[in-house]
Structure 1
Amino acid sequence: MDLKRLRYFVTVARLRSFTRAAEVLHMAQPPLSQRIQELEMELGVQLLDRDSRPISLTEAGQALYDQAVQVLQKTDAMLGTMRRFVSHERPCFTFGIVPANFHGDLAAIIRLYRQALPGTDVKLLELNSYEQVAALRDGRIDAGISRVPIEAEGVHRILLRQEPMVVALPEDHPLAAQEEVMTLDALKDHPFLLYLSPPRPSLADHILGQLQDRGITLSKMVEVNRYDTALLMIAAGCGLSIVPAGAQRVVTPGVTYRPLAEPITSPIVLCHRLGEASHELRALYFVLARFLVDRGHEPPLELMEGVTC
């Protein structure tokens, strides 16, 4: 089977459009359509329902797509390994991270990873949770650490842990003087900053959902596009917010933090390509499991199984 035609099919199937797929593949639409027809003739089965809008996969097409994604990923990984072997290029592992400064212990995790694999270069790309999915499929990153658990074809997710969240408020705010833990009810009548960065749902939607589950209705919500902007406005006295506890490790002048009486958490999610079993990924499993144990957290069983396989 021609891998190029297989790659064309996967692109069309993922984008559900010949036009968009042709643009991504930098080719004209007629020859792209012809390559897919040739693949269908080779297999003796229809793969796409061209009458639906957008284009949909037939049952056979879905079965082929699920297998083709893994075949192409393994092929790309093999070719990358061979290129590095021939050119004596050092292997590189690229992390996707959400673009906000509440990464907490991410620097420590990367340091441990570099110690575990001293011959491997490490790169970081700032990508939101949805962009990480696309980057994994395209091979631009090898793993992502995100805050929003997203179900996506060809992407495997592991919930590392639920991180507690805290209140971030101006250091001269009346509530900042309280020594006791803060109740959610005490926050509802103050301007509340939400970093509703697209795409949705976002971490802010996750926070709102947990507030609604507890019957808390915010009287004044102030929307901002970035987490950094929210912190700036908090420091300026414009309101308060709820942020992951790891945010406290990054000092922001004018902002203080208080624990919450009612537990609100934020998921920390590892994502990587489904079926990936590289040496570099297994090393990441080991590092993450060790990191969680050292800090008193029980690592997911899947991490431990991945370390021993």
Structure 2
Amino acid sequence: MELRHLRYFVAVAEERNFTRAAQRLHIAQPPLSRQIQQLEETLGVQLFERTARPLKLTDTGKFFYSHAVQLLAQTAELESMTRRVGNIERSLSVGFVGSTLYGMLPKIIRRFRDDHTTVELSLHEMSTMDQIRALKDGHIDVGFGRIRHEDANIRRVVLREEKMIVALPQGHPLSALKPVLSLQDLVHETLIIFPKAPRPSYADQVLAAFHDRALKPRRIYETREVQIALGLVAAGEGISIVPSSVHGLKRDDVSYKELDDPSLVSPIIMSMRKLDESQDLREMLELIYRLYEEEKIDYVPVTDEERGRS
């Protein structure tokens, strides 16, 4: 059994049609059918129910598919890692979600560039889910996001849990209501969330906070990103729940209030490929912890596992 057999099988299993699978693979249909038949003969099992329309996997085929997909992903990861190790010119490609720019990420990038002048650093704004795909495809080397997404091929380090705060139009009655607000105080307001797409995203963390407390805002207004959300808040269109680092965006027309529930947080998560043990990534992680210490910023302590990797 060869890797091409796995690629052919996965294509047929996902397209559920030999003709479409052949088009996807850019090969003729008869050779594809022969390769699948050869694979079944090699394994001594039937992988497809050929009488079904569209084509269906047998129970054995479903088992084989789940493992074939994992094996192909690991192979692609191994290829990208090998190319990187063999690359004489060192480079590091970083993915990030926009809201992390208002925290420590810019300082982390500047300090890393100052300390590693021989490393070419490139930045790419993308959602957490796009970061996961880009890591597995080898398009980026590290990502900074906010979504807790488990993937067997990705190593995730929760750096810190950032408090959520409320952004209000300047002079809003809630500003003078009490020192800190609760989500209950906000249910009669229009809640402006971001980003509108892709999902899941920070917007879903905010909505989940209300849902978990059996609360529902009067109206939901979705927008693309935090700057637009704050502009709408300033215009009096509603209120928004934002990461506390956004407080650094000084605006005369927006005020911020803390929330009374310490569990209302949004994580900042550093994601890497599972097999990536590069020195650059280890040093970036160490740098992040040093900067948190210097700035006296609360963070999630490094685990024994991560300490062993450093």
If the TM-score is normalised by the length of the shorter chain, which range does it land in? Answer: 0.7 to 0.9
- In structure 1, the residue matched to 2:128 is 129
Equivalent positions of 1:1-309 (< 5 A) are 5=4, 8=7, 12=11, 16-17=14-15, 27-28=26-27, 30=29, 33=32, 37=36, 40=39, 44=43, 49=48, 58-82=62-86, 84-85=87-88, 90-100=89-99, 103-177=102-176, 180-195=179-194, 197-263=196-262, 264-294=264-294, 295-301=297-303, 302-307=305-310
Contact 1:145/1:268 (<8 A) preserved:
yes
CA distance in 2, matches of 1:106, 1:32: 51
Judging changes above 3 Å, is the alpha-carbon distance between structure 1 residues 287 and 77 closer, same or farther for their aligned structure 2 residues? same
CA 1:298–1:223 in structure 2 vs 1: closer, same or farther (change >3 Å)?
closer
Letter in 2 for 1:182: L
Q: What is the CA–CA distance in structure 1 between the aligned matches of 2:112 and 2:278, rounded to whole Å?
A: 14
Residue by residue, what CA displacement relative to the aligned partner does 1:220-267 show, whole Å, maximum 9, x if unpaired? 322334333211101111111111111112334522211112221112
Task: Measure how far apart 1:296 and its partner are.
Answer: 3.9
How many residue pairs get matched? 299
* CA deviations over 1:43-65 (Å, ceiling 9, x no partner): 64669647687876543444444
Farther off after superposition, 269-278 or 127-136: 269-278
Measure, in 2, the Cα distance between the counterparts of 1:36 and 1:136. Answer: 31
Task: Determine if contact 1:16/1:55 at 8 Å carries over to the other structure.
Answer: no
Distance 1:32 1:143 in 2: 40
Asked if the contact 1:45/1:60 (under 8 Å) is kept, the reply is: no
Tell me, yes or no, if the aligned pair for 1:286 and 1:303 is still in contact at 8 Å. no
- Alignment deviations for residues 174-211 of structure 1 (CA, whole Å, 9 cap, x no partner): 22345712232222212221225223332222112112
Q: Deviations over 1:86-126 (max 9, x none)?
A: xxxx3111111113465411112222332443311111111
Contact 1:136 1:273 in 2 (8 A): yes
Aligned partner letter, 2:75: V
TM-superposed CA distance for 1:219, in Å, is 1.9
Percent identity between the two aligned chains: 28
After superposition, the Cα gap between the structure-2 partners of 1:269 and 1:296, relative to the gap in structure 1 and judged at 3 Å, is closer
> SS state of the match for residue 16, structure 1?
helix
- 1:69 partner amino acid: A
RMSD of Structure 2 on Structure 1 (CA): 3.4
Alpha-carbon distance in 2 for matches of 1:242, 1:108: 24
Name the larger-Rg structure: 2
